[in-house]
Every structure is written in C-alpha cells, then in structure tokens.
Amino acid sequence: MDVSIIIVNYNTAALTRSCVDSIFQETRDIRFEVIVVDNGSTDGSYALLSGLGYENYQYIFNQDNLGFSRANNQGVEAAAGRYLFFLNSDTVLLNNVAGLLLEYMAHHPEAGIAGPQFFNPDMSLQVSCRRFPTIGFGLIKFFPFLKILLPPWYRAYYMADQDYRSVQPVDTVSAGALMISKELFEEIGRFDEISFMYGEDADLCRRARDRGKKVVFSPDAHLIHYGGQSSRLNSRKAIWSYYMAFYHLYKKYYFKQFAVLIKPLFMARALVAMGIGLFKKDKRLTWNN
C-alpha cells in the first residue's frame, strides 16, 4: 500500500462524505486506502459513513471525542500505507493530490513532510503555510493591536506575501492536508496528544526539521478547504484549545523552565478571546485552517 489517507470526523457527516467521494474520484496511479476516524459524532455520521461501498475504506467509530491528534494517531494504528496523508474532513480534492505529493516525496528523499495548495470555496487562494511561532509572534497573539502597528511582521508569519506558484521549503504546513512517511512519523514520535486540537502540525513539522528533513509546499496539488467546521460546533472549547496549544508549543520550545508562570497568561488570553469574539475574526488564520 502506497498511501493511507486518514480523516478525522466530528459531526461533519455531509462534508466528510464529499471529501471521501472526491478522494476516490481524483486519486489515481497509486495504491491507497481511506481511514475515517469518527470522534463520537451525533449528527448521523455513523449511518452515512459506516457503509460506504468503496474498496480499501475503513470507518472507525469512537464513543467519545478523543481530539484531533489522538484520533489521527489512532488512524495510523490501522494504516497499511508507506506514507500517511492526514486530511481534514472539510476538504474536497480538485486533482490527484495524494498522487502528486507522493510523487514529489519519492523523488526528493530530503522532503520529510509535504502539503498542497489550499483554496477557499470561491477559489481564492487560502494561505496554508506558516513560520514556526516565535516569541515575537506570541506578543502579537496576546496584543492584537500590534498586527496593525507591525503589519509586515504579521504577514511574514502567515507567509501572506509568499510566491505560491513554486515548490518551496517552509517552516510548517497545515495538518488539514499533510503527507509524511509512516517511518518518519513513527521515528519522530507521532502527533503530540497533549493538545486536544490545534498546534499539532507546527510541532510535527518542527520535529521533522530538527531531524534534518525539509517541510515542502507543493503548489501543483489542489484542494478546497471550507475551514473550521468542527470547531464552530463548540467554539468555546475551540478557543480554549487554540490558546492552550500555543501554550504547549511555547512551553516545549521556549519557556520550559517558566511553564508555571506563563500558563496563567495563556489562560487569561483565552478567556479574553471568548469574551470579545476575537477568535472568529482570526478563524482563517488558525493552525488547521
């Protein structure tokens, strides 16, 4: 088996069905399987998704919501592919995405992780690459007015001015569509399950780069990403998870000795975001969007 495509579903039955259909319609010239891990959906997902008649299709239903990272790791346990392609349920493939990413990685062994080009539903470009979060960017997240005072800094982090027409190494690609060899994934330690959702892609890409591998953006592979569908269903939990994910990243890579001191700051920032709705304004700029 060449590629195992792993999708986590949480109350996005219709979107997941469209995603799976697009995979089987667009993917060719490779041996692949699709594994849907359902995090205890209550929207009829089981009835719609458990009986799909596709060959090499698995549906795993959890009684509880295990979170994004843990559910993806669970999918890996069932995966037979040499490569893993993690795909959000709210995506639709526009071409042979898995085949194109696999072809690139097979010819470029220095590439440890690869991600495709994202488009919004209106076919405008959706930024899907990031710089690894720095201390400076952390200040912007805590004090949003700084992005007005320092727009080049803010845009640089989101790579908003990047040339998205060429293959290029980047710091991180979105876990909304991320390919990695199973061997490397196991070697660097899988997704960190300490975060319920958000931040897992930045951490995984950082660990791959620390092992000397490149993280690559591939513009020839195209998909539509609707963005944030599962998190909208429980926005308070999503907001909290978002800022706690940043806390874990900064603790892990910058402030391990001061974790007790910085955690209250992230908790306070999450509560502020819940109160004034800043999270909705930044929705397309979260880690998985």
Number of independent structural domains in the chain: 1
Q: What pLDDT score does 250 carry?
A: 80
Q: What are 65-78's pLDDT values in tens digits?
A: 999 999 999 999 99
Residue 24 is which amino acid? F
Does residue 92 fall inside a structural domain? Answer: yes
Does residue 56 fall inside a structural domain? Answer: yes
Residue 83 is which amino acid? Y
CA 140-141-142 angle, to 5 degrees, is 90
- The DSSP symbol for 235 reads H
Does residue 81 fall inside a structural domain? Answer: yes
Does residue 113 fall inside a structural domain? Answer: yes
Q: What pLDDT score does 14 carry?
A: 97
Please list the ranges in the chain whose pLDDT falls under 70.
Answer: 138, 141, 144, 153, 228-234, 257-259, 276-289
Does residue 238 fall inside a structural domain? Answer: no
Check which CATH number belongs to the domain holding 177 and give it. Answer: 3.90.550.10
pTM as predicted: 0.86
Q: What pLDDT score does 264 carry?
A: 80
Does residue 224 fall inside a structural domain? Answer: yes
DSSP codes, 9-56: ESS-HHHHHHHHHHHHHH--SS-EEEEEEE-S--SSHHHHHTT---TT
Does residue 243 fall inside a structural domain? Answer: no
Does residue 146 fall inside a structural domain? Answer: no
Q: What pLDDT score does 267 carry?
A: 79
Domain span at residue 199?
3-132+161-232
Assigned token pair, 39? 């995090």
